Amino acid sequence: MHVAKVGEATPSFVLACADARDLGRQSVCSDDYAGRWAILIFYPRDFSFVCPTELTSFSARWRDFHQRGCELLGISVDPVELHREWLRTPPAEGGLGPLQFPLASDPDGATARAYGVWVEQKQVCTRGLFIIDPDGILQYAVIHNLNVGRSASEALRVVDALQTGALCPASWTSTDGTIDAERALQPGRILGHYRIRQKLGSGTFGTAFAAWDLRLERMVALKVLKRSVHESRDAVLAEARAAAKVNHPYVCTVYAVEEEDGLPLIAMEYLDGRTLSQAIAEGLPRAAAQDLARQIATGLAAAHAQQVVHGDLKPANVIVTGEGTARILDFGLAGRQDTSATARAGASQDVRPTVPNDAATKIVEIEETLAYDRSASGEAGGIRGTPAYMSPEQAAGRRPTPASDVFAFGLMLFEMLTGRMALSDTSLMTLLARLQNQDLGPRLAPEVDASYRDLLAALLARDAARRPAMSEVRDRMATLAAAPA
């Protein structure tokens, strides 16, 4: 028999019940609590000594539980008829009086067994208390000796703590602050099965650490995603899992996408090298620039073949190893390809970008990833990506596509060949307007070697439909890299 465990879906049940608030109610089932928090209070017998003190104390705090979206249910082996008698009998005569929650009958102990609280020798259930979240996942379980009653105040404290979704220290109460796990990630701390070694850097989506995997005994790069990321946690992790399917020599390998201590994280291959932006700043020889560009195009083509879009391609997201190999980082964090009819129809529309008012007027760091997903009115739309490497369609507020990566690659190729950024505007709105209204190809192409001009102009076409597919770019880059200097 499957026994309920914290962190797992709870066993379903259908039980006869007595409810002093609704005398016509005949039964209760686990589905009745879908979408709400539920507390199951297992107790041994009606008309006993400790049980009435517990049940009446929980009933007295019923309104407090209700305000938290939490329902209560008492469960014992006694038949429904005895439950009703106990509820009708005044406390002065050994009864309960009316309770603010139902009492269910589990005569054969099947539900008690499913929750691991059945006492075979006495044929009753012991004092088990279980807190179940709105998704039916068991979040808390405590089992008492038959002689010791449970505290309604403690159950409320735990519900409050669970509902914060954060880390709550010992003796925490609702008036206390929670532990900021993001700030607490210092060298030596253990997150799940990873021991933090050092902080590598931080950005819009999260903070990267070098960490030791205690299970597999190897170094990993750990990207811990911020709680304030632009989409829901599940959506971000789903995109990261999709990106993890890309297995290629020029793409950083993703080992795991999981959640530890309430923090979503991505464990990746630890790469010893420098970023492409650092390599460009230090000066890239022509041959090295050509070869790295070829490798990046090859890795992108492999990702696009699996319908995975980078969405935030830039030199800072490429590591160049000591052997001169390019490895693309952070696939999927900025967006996944959307092939829906709605997205295709929207691609031809002029969508006004929505950014916060302060970002629209101040000088911003154009090499930093932006993630503005909603306007001040709450309507859909926004800017996602790095302005200095953003495509016109992203600047117009649309989701990135493979063609967006092609445009970003064109901006990177220009920088690799010339040693300077293609777009260096410091005003965010000026840069966004420029991307949407100007055709950059004709202006930038003459500044690179003749052999790359036609390709660069195609990569930087303002119309996404005119840009070549990444597989074509890969083949062209291979030909150019192989040509004699």
Tell me the catalytic residues: 51
Sequence-ordered alpha helix ranges (H) in 149-228: 152-164, 181-184
Rounded Cα–Cα distance for residues 480 and 483 (Å): 5
Phi and psi (nearest 5°) for 244?
Answer: -65, -15
Q: Which two tokens stand for residue 433?
A: 């307007």
Measured CA distances, 322 to 93, 145, 218, 274, 280 (Å): 83, 62, 19, 8, 15
Edge-to-edge strand order for the sheet containing 103-105?
A: 27-29, 14-18, 103-105, 70-76, 37-42, 127-132, 138-144
Beta-carbon count within 10 A of 450 CB: 8
Q: What is the Rg, in whole angstroms, of the alpha carbon atoms belonging to the chain?
A: 30
Which one, of 165, 117, 167, lies nearest residue 142 by Cα?
A: 117
Judge contact between 54 and 124, C-beta under 8 A.
no
Any idea which residue has 């006869």 for tokens?
16
Judge contact between 36 and 159, C-beta under 8 A.
no
Judge contact between 161 and 180, C-beta under 8 A.
no
